[in-house]
Amino acid sequence: MKYSNFFIPTFRENPSDAKIKSHVLMIKSGMIKQEISGIYSWLPLGFKVLKKIIQIIEDMHESNGINQILMPTIQGSDIWKISDRYDTYGKEMLRIVDRNDKELLYGPTNEEMITAIGKHFIKSHKNLPRHFFHIQSKFRDEIRPRFGVMRAREFLMKDAYSFDKDEKSGEQTYERFFRLYLRIFEKLGLKIIPVRAPSGEIGGNLSHEFHLLLETGESKIFVDETYLKKNFSDLKISEIKSINSFTDELYESLNINQSLIHLKSTELGHIFLFGTKYSKSFDFKIDYENDKIFPYMGSYGIGISRIPAAIIEASNDDKGIIWPKEISPFDIVLINLTSNNENTTSFCEDLYAKLKVNNYDVLLDDRSERPGIKFSDADLIGIPIQIIVGKNFVDKKEIGVKTRKDLKESTVSSENIIEFLNQMKI
Amino acid sequence: MKYSNFFIPTFRENPSDAKIKSHVLMIKSGMIKQEISGIYSWLPLGFKVLKKIIQIIEDMHESNGINQILMPTIQGSDIWKISDRYDTYGKEMLRIVDRNDKELLYGPTNEEMITAIGKHFIKSHKNLPRHFFHIQSKFRDEIRPRFGVMRAREFLMKDAYSFDKDEKSGEQTYERFFRLYLRIFEKLGLKIIPVRAPSGEIGGNLSHEFHLLLETGESKIFVDETYLKKNFSDLKISEIKSINSFTDELYESLNINQSLIHLKSTELGHIFLFGTKYSKSFDFKIDYENDKIFPYMGSYGIGISRIPAAIIEASNDDKGIIWPKEISPFDIVLINLTSNNENTTSFCEDLYAKLKVNNYDVLLDDRSERPGIKFSDADLIGIPIQIIVGKNFVDKKEIGVKTRKDLKESTVSSENIIEFLNQMKI
């Protein structure tokens, strides 16, 4: 992609209304624009990151045999009255009346709708287990939207739902999702602490949240100190149930008398095994041998549009964002420092084509801007590798390769650049 | 994908409330489920088709240098008051009041929001032209939602927007989108007729719609008979402007006195060059030499969630759907007729693995259902190639290869199957 044709409206000044680093940097790097309070547009650079995250989450769900569907954003009030959550959900639910005076709402979550889908189609335990996920906009009318996409009103969520024939099978499913979540966050380059959580609004008695430790986080969790270096990915359901870390709320309600460390964090995922709560309220019964049973259900959410902000919060310096390679919008930014010079320009065009052939996703900075602007934009938008083509190329056929993380620059002969990059294993 | 793990809830009976073939077949093949009037969930088979269409549209926009963004579904009323469309849009606009009594709406289209984005970021003609697209849910509160996803209230639209410095550059952009649309519909296997259209609600004076001729279509267009076999893909802007086919509405308003044929159709795309209408109402001015000018704008929509229905409407028989290969949910359905037989089962598992290695996307029907059910489901869901493994395999190592389109079956030695498929160039 050429910079001249990829819209990245960067700003030099800090936005006045942004209070945390990720919000500041997402605005300055032209990733997002607030439309109204808590509602954002994702601009090309921001959307490219979001899409990479979506792709990883989709692929990992699919390869785990979870079927992707798409439920609508707008729901009828009727199904929420069946579950008795229409009144209790409160003001966070965005309520709507259509032209025929029918009560609608913008879905804050989909337990009711997936239960109605299950009841419509699933008639026998032979059809179980079934696991579904979708990635769809949600709306929660937060009283105080803040911190950019970290706490927005309209946001993108991956929510999955499971139907099993009984508690044992449901717990196996829960264990699978627990492990899948840890692998997803690992793939996203995020070190996550799973904590036991109350099930609150959703219901049931088994629930965990997945937290990223962040000084600027809005949550606080109580963590067993040994967990800071623990690998959780092989836990069995019995070990998952007895995890020795807790959300604030659960810690207090359980009256835990143990020395745990109290850390600030941000919640990125939340899973629930709520059992027969919704299948019972929907009278959703299936055949099981000579009997009728209520399917055992769970739900599993990841706050997708919060993830880019969380990653930036965890990975930045005073010059800007430092993207982990897995979700960086590009692999390389190729900076032509002297775009009015025919030599560097034709070299950069050739190298750009060669890099693409070698499967690198490259942003070619072909703008007629001053070198200072190009350097500061490259540092700000945080692509892991910068290739710098300027005076040294004209004089000595040498180019610079800078890694964004440590800002270290190597000088490389222009002939050896592809080989050099391949050896870096970016 | 194994059928046992891919949720396709097919029905034998026709749904009572579906009036056109595509609606009937999408319900019977378990592609969609209506949640409330005009609002649908996409189940795994339906969503897989939708995703293929989205991928094609995204790739073709991106390779044309159009930047993907994501604007939110919920908009503030303020920007619609600026353009003076808040009152005029009428009851099709879903209006919402949030917890702070702020007037919101569910976006039926995004001209206002993109103009606000342009005004926020674009300051000079040197930043132009700029082309953006997004794929996002829209809501139009149709008085009579009908025909399934063909005329839904919540639907998925690809809408693109362009900013140019003047009319000439705007017309070049319009020409590019016109041609891109023809290539997209061609790639989707749809023979489209472009017609001149009134610009209506959106404004401006240059507008075209892209229609699929369909006996069950809700629109009617007046078409020059020679156009039925015409290739439109190389038209220049002057020829585009004088296209001799019209929407009903434009035909009547222009008092055209020419013998054109009058045909039923469905609208799948609509493009507008509305010029400075929105940049003027938003007072969105940019630097141009020593002057200030209003950017020249256009918008370009494709009704994504309507396309699967349109394709089915155009391609089906009395047994079910016949997917064109480009957007078929799978390339091949591999039917194990005797899933209780170890020989066929282990052969099918091996062949399934081999086909995947050869880059075929395969649905393996591993269910323990009767052959009749497997055959009728395969015909119903319309995958182009059926591989049938049953008694002839056990007796003679022979398998059947049936093409869904003409239902013709060839007998192939099980050893030669990959070679046979490769030669079919599916």
Do the Cβ atoms of A130 and B7 come within 8 Å? yes
Do the Cβ atoms of B69 and A47 come within 8 Å? yes
Taking the alpha carbons at both ends of chain A, their separation in whole angstroms is 18
For residues B226 and B43, give the distance between their C-alpha atoms in angstroms, rounded to a whole number.
41
Residue B255's pLDDT is what? Answer: 84
Residue B26's pLDDT is what? Answer: 98
B75 half-sphere exposure, CB direction, 13 A CA radius: 27
Comparing C-alpha atoms, which of B209, B170, B417, B168 is closest to residue B306? Answer: B209
Residues 230-249 of B with CB under 8 A from A: none
Kindly identify which residue of chain A lies nearest to residue B46, measuring between CA atoms.
A69
**Which residues of chain B neighbour A42 with C-beta distances below 8 Å?**
69-71
For residues B354 and B336, give the distance between their C-alpha atoms in angstroms, rounded to a whole number.
15
Contact B121, A30 (CB under 8 A): yes
Question: Under DSSP, is residue A144 helix (H, G, I), strand (E, B) or coil?
Answer: coil
DSSP string for residues in A268-301: EEEEEEEETHHHHHTT--EEETTEEEPPEEEEEE
Residue B38's pLDDT is what? Answer: 97
Contact B181, B300 (CB under 8 A): yes
Residue B426's pLDDT is what? Answer: 67
* Average predicted confidence (pLDDT) for chain A: 96
A242 CB contacts (<8 Å, ≥6 apart)? Answer: none
Judge whether residue A174 has pLDDT over 90. Answer: yes
**Which residues of chain A neighbour B75 with C-beta distances below 8 Å?**
35-36, 39
For residues A286 and A283, give the distance between their C-alpha atoms in angstroms, rounded to a whole number.
10
Name the token pair of A190: 């995020």
Residues 118-147 of A with CB under 8 A from B: 120-122, 130, 132, 137, 139, 141, 143
For residues B383 and B30, give the distance between their C-alpha atoms in angstroms, rounded to a whole number.
14
Residue A233's pLDDT is what? Answer: 87
Contact B173, B300 (CB under 8 A): no
Specify burial of residue A296 (Cβ count, 10 A radius: 0-12, 13-18, 19+): buried
Residue A204's pLDDT is what? Answer: 72
Contact A163, A129 (CB under 8 A): yes
Specify burial of residue B60 (Cβ count, 10 A radius: 0-12, 13-18, 19+): middle
Residue A199's pLDDT is what? Answer: 78
Kindly identify which residue of chain B lies nearest to residue A95, measuring between CA atoms.
B96
Other Cβ atoms within 10 Å of A416 Cβ, number: 11
**In chain B, which residues have pLDDT < 70?**
426
Q: What are phi and psi of A393, to 5 degrees?
A: -70, -45
**Which residues of chain B neighbour A93 with C-beta distances below 8 Å?**
none
Which residue in A33, A78, A117 is closest to B117 by CB distance? A33
Do the Cβ atoms of B68 and A76 come within 8 Å? no
B91 touches chain A (CB under 8 A): yes
Residue B169's pLDDT is what? Answer: 97
Q: Are strands B206-213 and B219-223 parallel, antiparallel or unpaired?
A: unpaired
Contact A378, A27 (CB under 8 A): no
A364 CB contacts (<8 Å, ≥6 apart)? Answer: A1, A2, A3, A333, A334, A336, A348, A349, A352
Q: Where are the alpha helices (DSSP H) in A318-405?
A: 342-357, 371-381, 391-396
Q: Which of A26, A69, A154 would best serve as a mutation to test chain B binding (most B beta carbons within 10 A)? A: A69
Q: What is the ipTM of this complex?
A: 0.96
Name the token pair of A319: 């010059």
How close is the nearest chain B Cα to the Cα of A94, in Å?
A: 6
* pLDDT grade for A426, boundaries at 50, 70 and 90: low
Strands (E), A21-121: 32-36, 39-42, 67-68, 74-76, 94-97, 103-106
Judge whether residue A76 has pLDDT over 90. Answer: yes
Do the Cβ atoms of B72 and A7 come within 8 Å? no
Comparing C-alpha atoms, which of A242, A227, A179, A8 is closest to residue B122? Answer: A8
Residues 261-290 of A with CB under 8 A from B: none
Contact B44, B417 (CB under 8 A): no
> pTM of the prediction?
0.97
Kindly identify which residue of chain B lies nearest to residue A92, measuring between CA atoms.
B99
Residue B200's pLDDT is what? Answer: 74
Comparing C-alpha atoms, which of A334, A322, A307 is closest to residue A25? Answer: A322
Domains of chain B, start order = 3-316 (3.30.930.10), 330-424 (3.40.50.800)
For residues A72 and A106, give the distance between their C-alpha atoms in angstroms, rounded to a whole number.
9
Q: Which of B6, B7, B31, B119 would best serve as a mutation to test chain A binding (most A beta carbons within 10 A)? A: B7
Specify burial of residue B156 (Cβ count, 10 A radius: 0-12, 13-18, 19+): buried
A44 CB contacts (<8 Å, ≥6 apart)? Answer: A6, A7, A8, B67, B68, B69, B132
Total CB pairs under 8 A between chain A and B: 142
B68 touches chain A (CB under 8 A): yes
**Which residues of chain A neighbour B69 with C-beta distances below 8 Å?**
41-44, 47
Residue A350's pLDDT is what? Answer: 97
A117 touches chain B (CB under 8 A): yes
How close is the nearest chain B Cα to the Cα of A109, in Å?
A: 14
Do the Cβ atoms of A41 and B141 come within 8 Å? no
Contact B402, B409 (CB under 8 A): yes
Judge whether residue A200 has pLDDT over 80. Answer: no
A80 touches chain B (CB under 8 A): no
For residues B322 and B381, give the distance between their C-alpha atoms in angstroms, rounded to a whole number.
8
What are A387's strand-pairing partners?
A334, A401
**Which residues of chain A neighbour B107 with C-beta distances below 8 Å?**
none
Judge whether residue A177 has pLDDT over 90. Answer: yes
Q: Are strands A192-196 and A206-213 parallel, antiparallel or unpaired?
A: antiparallel
Comparing C-alpha atoms, which of B7, B203, B322, B67 is closest to residue A162? Answer: B7
Q: Where are the alpha helices (DSSP H) in B122-234?
A: 167-187
Name the residue type at position A163.
Answer: F
For residues B390 and B335, give the distance between their C-alpha atoms in angstroms, rounded to a whole number.
8
